[in-house]
């Protein structure tokens, strides 16, 4: 399973993008998805430095493909107040981690599903409104089955 309740923070308190990346990486590490917390964080920071992962619609999708990942995952966080992410205010964050040796298509499929879903206003609204982690998983999984 790519996402679980352990990988969700419904009211993240970080006030910048690196703080959100750090907190979500800690969740992934606590759920045994990482081999090396610091190496994963650095991979995400490096990717973010290349091109911002803020996709518009108040959503960011930081990600890393590295040997520091043991098992593919998606973390989700909601920031009620929002965080500036390279000149865009972001409220919803999906952080993706994939092992370096994972099939290229797996990584691209995860990114494509999320990118496609965030363009759907109902998908975003449902995530904004819910406070229930099980509902977040249902929204994300149902969105991935569509399209």
pLDDT tens-digit profile of 14-41?
Answer: 999 999 999 999 999 999 999 999 999 9
pLDDT tens-digit profile of 109-143?
Answer: 887 888 889 999 999 999 999 999 999 999 988 86
Mean pLDDT value across residues 70-85: 95
**Active site positions, annotated:** 63
Report whether pLDDT(146) > 70. no
- Is the Cα torsion angle 123, 105, 93, 54 positive or negative in sign? negative
Report whether pLDDT(64) > 50. yes
Question: How far, in Å, CA of 134 to CA of 4, rounded?
Answer: 8
CA distances from 147 to 40, 56, 136, 142 (A): 30, 20, 18, 10
Distance of CA 105 to the CA centre of its chain: 18
């Amino acid at each position: 399973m790519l996402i679980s309740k352990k990988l969700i923070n419904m009211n993240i308190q970080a006030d910048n993008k690196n703080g959100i990346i750090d907190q979500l990486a800690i969740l992934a590490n606590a759920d045994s998805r990482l081999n090396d917390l610091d190496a994963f964080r650095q991979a995400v920071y490096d990717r973010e430095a290349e091109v911002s992962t803020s996709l518009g619609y108040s959503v960011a999708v930081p990600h890393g493909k590295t040997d520091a990942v043991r098992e593919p995952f998606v973390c989700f966080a909601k920031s009620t107040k929002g965080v500036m992410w390279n000149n865009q205010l972001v409220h919803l964050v999906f952080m993706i981690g994939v092992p370096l040796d994972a099939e290229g298509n797996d990584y691209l499929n995860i990114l494509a599903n999320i990118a496609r879903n965030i363009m759907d206003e109902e998908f975003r609204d449902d995530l904004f409104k819910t406070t229930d982690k099980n509902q977040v998983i249902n929204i994300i999984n149902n969105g991935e089955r569509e399209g």
